[in-house]
Structure 1
Amino acid sequence: MALVLGVALGAGLLLSLLRLPMILGYLVAGIVIGPYVLGLVEHIEDVEMLATIGVVLLMFTLGLELSPNTLRRVGKVAILGGIAQIAATTILGFGIGFLFDWSVKEAVLFGFFISMSSTVIVMKLLMDRGDLGSVHGRIMIGILLVQDLSVVPIMAVLPSLEKSGMALLTDLGWALLKADAFLVAVLVLGGWGLPRLVRRVVVRRSRELFLLAIVCVCFGAGFAAYHLGLSIALGAFLAGLLLSESDYAHQARADIRPLRDVFSVLFFVALGMLADPAFIADNPGKIAIVVAVVVIGKFAIVVLILRAFGHKTKTDLFAGSGLFQIGEFSFVLAALALSEDLISDDLYATVMATAFITILLTPFAMTLTSHLYYRKIGKKEGFAKDGSREAAVENDLRPSSARTLSNHVVMCGYGKIARYLGRVLEQRGFSYLVIDLDPDAIELARKKGVPAIFGDACNPEILAEACLERARILIVGFADPIATKLIVRNAKRINRRLDIVARAYGDEETKALRADGASEVVRPDLEVGLEIVRHTLHRFGMTPQEIQYVLSKLREEF
């Protein structure tokens, strides 16, 4: 594992310096150290086991990023469009098989293989580009989920292709029944039991127990799905989707992200290890033709389907350029078909080579599409205007806080002082938002109708949810100097013009916070001392103006 991560680090740094997607570096690193080149890693199974953890965490995070409501808004195009895409791509694959004189069975199976795109690759690219919340991003994820669900009946059918028609229908029906039972169980148990479980952990006020509970939910759902013959990644996604509606989704996503990033790197490296450069070198013409037909064909199919649903050119092109690759579930299906002697070794190698090349091409294709659209097409067509269908959908997909809050106050911590401030702000009609790790404080704020985020304000992901780019002022009332320093630094990275009022103790801490960008630093010990001075001088008959002059001089000294 140390070797894999070390090589991935080097490749990622190199690609970052070249301003290329780091995912390409991870894939190439897998090729180099894999069994087909240097052979530094001979047992891919060991890496694949750890890589599976990365897939599970990625899909769980995807579920946390989305919500049932946002998916429902693109449900029609995702479901109908996804089914149409699978059917059309299967026909395309059959045509490729006819071109190379494969058997009917192999041609149909090849069509199934190329109909699957890579959920993990696409999700990673969308996250890196910041497009996960866009219209095309949501539609792409919806179509990918339909593809992932279609793996269930396909995997049930493959071992039964040699059986009679009745046996085939029986196996297919049983697989679909198990899938339905799992979905119902997840919805019932997740909707009723999951919030209660997480709430019981949160009230213990232990970050360690909270993270452990989130990881258990993630892998527990994946484990249950796997033992029912479903995708382990699908189970993790559903668990994340259910948790996304809770108050704890933001903190769960922030805590699990470091684990996700490390293990997902292992997945991409393991993916590279599966590529056999020698087979590609021995069959360059064949692989080039297959790759060209798959890329152009799948791109055209997605564009035409989305165009039929009335989407604009931007959505059509971006989705088409992101979904033309062959995904990881194709590897599973191809391996299963090979073990059942349904396809030849040559066809299996062709699927693997085509998949790897199309995955490598995807980041370049999305970058090229973005460049061409914004430089050429976007100028002629004009970007989405207010009132257009896509602009409305994009706005609806944003969190409710992002749609309503502007020129507001963000309070980090909701203790007594923050509640006093909140009372004054409410009386004056000023809006504010609360961030706190105390579930009782969050519940109190929610009862008052105040927007509240459960999470650690030190984490930049949590701060980003508070719409700091549109906030008027940030109040940091924590007594922890390290936490205060992190919050000030992270907030300034999000909005350099943001006014920040922070709490501090001592001269050094005050200077450090001002150097980090705090507009005002309040010292409780100094304020207590000044109040005592004010009351004392008042007893000696000094006027308010004279007392204020003395206090101003003292403030300047400190």
Structure 2
Amino acid sequence: MNHLDPLISDLALILMLAGITTLLFKWMKQPVVLGYIVTGFLAGPHFSFFPTVTDVANIDIWAEIGIIVLLFSLGLEFSFRKLVNVGGSAVITALVIVVGMMLLGYAAGRLLHFTYLDSIFLGGMLSMSSTTIIIKAFTDLNMRKQQFTTIVFGVLIVEDMFAVLMMVLLSSIAVNNELEGSELIYSILKLAFFLITWFLIGIFVLPTFLKKARRFLNSETLLVVSMGLCLGMVVLASYAGFSSALGAFVMGSILAGTNEAERIEKVMQPVKDLFGAVFFISVGMLVSPEALVQYAIPIIILSLVVIAGQIFFGTSGMLISGQPLKIAIKSGFSLSQIGEFAFIIATLGMSLKVIDGFLYPIVVAVSVITTFTTPYFIKLSDPVANWVEKHLPAKLNFILERYSANASAVQPENTWKRVLGVYLGKIALYSTILVGIILLSLTWFLPLMKELIPSVWGKYIGVGITLLVMLPFLWALTMKRINSRKLLTLEENKRANQVPLFFMVIFRFFIGLGFVIYFLSVAYSQRTGVLLGVVLFVIVMLLMSKRLQRQIVSLEGKFMDNLNERELRRTGRKNNLVRNMHLAHMEVNGECAFIGKRLEDANIRKEYGVNIVSIKRGLKRINIPKGDSRLFPGDVVSVIGTDEQIQKFLDAVEPEEISVDETENEEHFELERIVIPKDSPLIGKTIAQSGIREKDSCLVVGVERMDGTFLAPTGNIVLKETDMLWIVGTKARIEALLK
């Protein structure tokens, strides 16, 4: 007899249960994520009245894939540009939350008579909100498009980065009973190097690759390629010592700037829904009734600490960063939970044998409770924000509004601040690339060349090739002029500016020279590295400056084009025609105001100033469309206009979509039989004259006479007494017609 694999039987069990519970929760108009948690509890090992999952390890693997897919999907919506836009507010808020919750968690642990190390680890567990839970809650509540959610996502991503540093901090305290500053600095530098390196490689390679392969990318191949890229980055992130979730988010944010981002989101949606469901079901499996009873008091206290602390510190951080009061409150209420990172810290503490075993079930219970309450607090945030705004003292409200307005206002930027920003950015960018090249050469390329060419020439060739690869980036770091002349034209004392600019150039020169000397010193000896490095560096920089300049300018241009590929396609800024006229391509979405209208009736040229040169509808292209052509959702429209005209038209063609729950707003149509009574005003009128369609918004689909004759409705059929009308319409409209 063939035995079914436990993975299949377990999946069958949890998905059937999930289908029933989620339908029930949908019927009760409750968030679906709560149904998944209930499913996990019912199918878990702690509830014996239902069949139980036989192999929890398999479900855990699926749950981990769920986290990866959820973070990848978040990255697709949260491009690097968005992260930069909310960066300051996100960093400040995340810092306030992490520091505040660590101190609050430590204090709560000591009050509950936990040990010193238990309390420190507890503070770390309570300091991180759950990205996956918040994403799902926002999706279920149709709030993904609201303004505050973008800032909340920024906070969550910054918290994930802080998590990497916290792991080092807690490990150092647990092992050495003190904080090792050098390890923390090394972790920060490693994180920065990882993010910059893969971001640069991704921006250079992926848009070009997707553009070349676009004609082969149907839904199937696009899904396979996207998941391959996502999991590949997850492997690289794990190999570098970072979380798989961070790697998935990085790949998603890289792909978010490409032209294929919208298509990838669509093909990923069912995958995200399936694996995300398994993740939340696995959270529900962790609920233990025995632990809830045994540690009831600590669980209740810590749950209240998490909810109150996250709301307070989240709201405070948002206010400090300059966000309006309403956005701050809604953001704080959204962050009122802990998630999967708490389990990771608890596992770390137990593996180091520095925390007691009872802490794990307590944190699991707190996580499940706060996950369960999260959707309700998100729903509650809007009325609470309105109540606080209404009852806040007028003077305090004025101070907060003024502070927020000043923080968001565009301040005149100091010229030297701009120069230093560009200067330090260039140094960080090209230094990261050079560090990557040197590490790759010393750990892989030089040993490979020695193996392929055993003589001394193998090493010489390897060093030479490495220096050639480094050359354009060395020139960009040391010799390429930072365009500070334009930035400093408004400065009165231009001579005074020359001195600091000169030292900035010298500083860059010595950094580049340092990279060459270091590489040659490791490859040969320190004396050889210094002597040979100085000579080679000076000669090459002087002799090849013009050629290298053209090369690096070309690389920078390609990088910026790839970085802004999606935006450039929509705005057409790279498709210059004459003067400031551009060719732009944009997709018509369902909220467009003139869908279905003829072009001549939409007055597009008169209203927006643009000229439509083509409409692409599936495989069909309409070149130079006439006035009777129409626009439909999904059409790709190519237009010519100025920056201002194209932007105005883009706002009309691709307005911000409002997420609406289809199931909650869908009007159900009914089929009803109506017999015309003796005194009806419809007698003697035709169907067209009756007004049933125009006035009552109902549709006559059949007329049945007393003799059993059934007539297909036409506008000229005269209605008679006792005719039976078959009518389609909403329940409300049919009831109104009957009256």
Superposition deviation, residue 412 in structure 1: 5.9
Give runs of aligned pairs for residues 117-516 of structure 1, distance below 5 A.
Answer: 117-164=129-176, 168-373=180-385, 376=387, 407-408=593-594, 413=617, 418-421=622-625, 435=634, 445=638, 466-467=654-655
Superposition deviation, residue 163 in structure 1: 4.0
1:29 counterpart residue number: 39
2:12 aligned with 1:2, yes or no?
yes
1:513 counterpart residue number: none
Superposition deviation, residue 110 in structure 1: 0.7
Measured in 1, the distance between the counterparts of 2:230 and 2:307 equals: 34
Measured in 2, the distance between the counterparts of 1:51 and 1:217 equals: 19
Supply the AA of the counterpart residue of 1:217: L
Measured in 1, the distance between the counterparts of 2:182 and 2:318 equals: 35
Superposition deviation, residue 312 in structure 1: 2.4
CA contact (8 A) 2:117 2:174 kept: no
Measured in 2, the distance between the counterparts of 1:298 and 1:363 equals: 15
Measured in 2, the distance between the counterparts of 1:403 and 1:204 equals: 23
Which of the pair has the greater relative contact order for Cα pairs under 8 Å at 6+ separation? 1
1:96 counterpart residue number: 108
Q: Which moved more, 1:249-258 or 1:204-213?
A: 204-213
Does the C-alpha gap of structure 1 residues 76 and 227 become closer, same or farther in structure 2, counting only changes over 3 Å?
Answer: same
Report SS of the residue matched to 1:345.
coil
1:49 counterpart residue number: 61
1:460 counterpart residue number: none
CA contact (8 A) 2:70 2:132 kept: yes
TM-score by length of 1: 0.71
Does the C-alpha gap of structure 1 residues 409 and 231 become closer, same or farther in structure 2, counting only changes over 3 Å?
Answer: same
2:27 aligned with 1:17, yes or no?
yes
CA contact (8 A) 2:88 2:321 kept: no
2:154 aligned with 1:114, yes or no?
no
- Bigger share in helix: 1
Measured in 1, the distance between the counterparts of 2:14 and 2:221 equals: 30
Report SS of the residue matched to 1:299.
helix
1:70 counterpart residue number: 82
Report SS of the residue matched to 2:358.
helix
Measured in 2, the distance between the counterparts of 1:118 and 1:247 equals: 30
Does the C-alpha gap of structure 1 residues 310 and 173 become closer, same or farther in structure 2, counting only changes over 3 Å?
Answer: closer
Measured in 2, the distance between the counterparts of 1:379 and 1:322 equals: 21
Measured in 1, the distance between the counterparts of 2:641 and 2:323 equals: 41
Identity of aligned residues (%): 26
Post-superposition Cα deviations, 1:94-129, rounded to whole Å, max 9, x if no partner, equal: 110120122222111111110011000011112233
Superposition deviation, residue 467 in structure 1: 4.3
Measured in 2, the distance between the counterparts of 1:448 and 1:156 equals: 54
Supply the AA of the counterpart residue of 1:218: C
Measured in 2, the distance between the counterparts of 1:465 and 1:371 equals: 33
2:497 counterpart residue number: none
Does the C-alpha gap of structure 1 residues 402 and 86 become closer, same or farther in structure 2, counting only changes over 3 Å?
Answer: farther
Report SS of the residue matched to 1:161.
helix
Supply the AA of the counterpart residue of 1:2: A
Over the aligned positions, Cα root-mean-square deviation in angstroms equals: 3.9
Supply the AA of the counterpart residue of 1:95: A
Does the C-alpha gap of structure 1 residues 357 and 432 become closer, same or farther in structure 2, counting only changes over 3 Å?
Answer: same
Superposition deviation, residue 368 in structure 1: 2.2
Measured in 2, the distance between the counterparts of 1:451 and 1:234 equals: 36
Measured in 2, the distance between the counterparts of 1:446 and 1:354 equals: 55
Does the C-alpha gap of structure 1 residues 268 and 59 become closer, same or farther in structure 2, counting only changes over 3 Å?
Answer: same
Post-superposition Cα deviations, 1:233-263, rounded to whole Å, max 9, x if no partner, equal: 1111111111111111111100110111011
CA contact (8 A) 1:15 1:22 kept: yes
Q: Which moved more, 1:144-153 or 1:122-131?
A: 122-131
CA contact (8 A) 1:116 1:327 kept: yes
Measured in 2, the distance between the counterparts of 1:314 and 1:167 equals: 38
Post-superposition Cα deviations, 1:264-286, rounded to whole Å, max 9, x if no partner, equal: 00000001111212111122222
1:537 counterpart residue number: none
Superposition deviation, residue 134 in structure 1: 2.6
CA contact (8 A) 1:82 1:144 kept: yes
Q: Which moved more, 1:39-48 or 1:336-345?
A: 39-48
Measured in 2, the distance between the counterparts of 1:52 and 1:115 equals: 21
Report SS of the residue matched to 2:371.
helix
Post-superposition Cα deviations, 1:58-110, rounded to whole Å, max 9, x if no partner, equal: 11111111222222221111012211210011000111012012222211111
Superposition deviation, residue 445 in structure 1: 3.5
Superposition deviation, residue 351 in structure 1: 1.4
Report SS of the residue matched to 1:418.
strand
Q: How many residues align?
A: 446
Structure 1, unaligned stretches of length 5 or more? Answer: 437-441, 453-463, 471-488, 495-558
CA contact (8 A) 1:175 1:229 kept: no
Does the C-alpha gap of structure 1 residues 252 and 179 become closer, same or farther in structure 2, counting only changes over 3 Å?
Answer: same
Does the C-alpha gap of structure 1 residues 324 and 417 become closer, same or farther in structure 2, counting only changes over 3 Å?
Answer: closer
CA contact (8 A) 2:92 2:317 kept: no
Measured in 2, the distance between the counterparts of 1:317 and 1:407 equals: 34
CA contact (8 A) 1:331 1:352 kept: yes
Structure 2, unaligned stretches of length 5 or more? Answer: 1-10, 410-566, 572-585, 597-614, 668-739
2:91 to 79, 84, 90: 79
Report SS of the residue matched to 2:622.
helix
Does the C-alpha gap of structure 1 residues 359 and 206 become closer, same or farther in structure 2, counting only changes over 3 Å?
Answer: closer
CA contact (8 A) 2:588 2:653 kept: no
Report SS of the residue matched to 2:216.
coil
The structure with the larger Rg is: 2
